[in-house]
Every structure is written in structure tokens, then in C-alpha cells.
């Protein structure tokens, strides 16, 4: 689930994926501080780039709007 607005970040394409500005590739077993961006898991990365089969974040992840 994506706990923040995403309208400014779409469309997500192989050439333009602003998610990776904050969600950088992580290392196995990496600890993440509460409130910090979730790192990309190793399965989403090939070499130093987002895996071409995993660049479209919204295929698996959905924006969650805060309840009022």
C-alpha cells in the first residue's frame, strides 16, 4: 500500500519513475526507520536499475487515502 498521494508521480514509465527518488534499492536484511521510505527489494532491481518487469509500481501497489 502507498500511504501518500501519487498523482504527481504518474504515469510511471521505464524512462520516468520518480518513485525511485525516495525508494532506493535496499540490501537484504536492511533495517528501516519508522517513517522512512520503504526501500526497493532486491527482486525489483537488476544491476543498478529497476528491473524492466517491475518498473510499474501500480501493478501491485495501490494508493491508500487517509480516512477522515
CA-CA distance, 58 to 5, in Å (whole number)?
13
Return the DSSP state at 22: T
Q: What is the pTM of this model?
A: 0.78
- 27 CB contacts (<8 Å, ≥6 apart)? 39, 42
User: CA separation (Å) from 21 to 8, 17, 24, 66, 68?
Assistant: 13, 8, 7, 23, 29
Containing domain of residue 63, as a range?
A: 1-68
- Domain count of the chain? 1
Q: Which tens digits make up the pLDDT trace of 6-62?
A: 999 999 998 899 999 999 988 888 889 998 999 998 889 998 889 999 999 999 999
pLDDT of 65 reads: 76
> What confidence tier does 66 reach under pLDDT thresholds 50, 70, 90?
low
Amino acid at each position: 500500500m502507498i500511504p501518500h498521494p501519487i498523482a504527481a508521480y504518474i504515469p510511471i514509465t521505464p524512462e520516468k519513475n520518480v518513485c525511485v527518488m525516495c525508494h532506493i534499492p535496499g540490501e537484504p536484511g536492511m533495517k528501516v526507520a519508522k517513517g522512512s521510505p520503504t526501500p526497493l527489494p532486491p527482486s525489483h532491481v537488476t544491476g543498478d536499475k529497476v528491473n524492466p518487469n517491475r518498473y510499474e509500481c501500480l501493478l501491485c501497489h495501490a494508493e491508500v487515502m487517509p480516512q477522515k
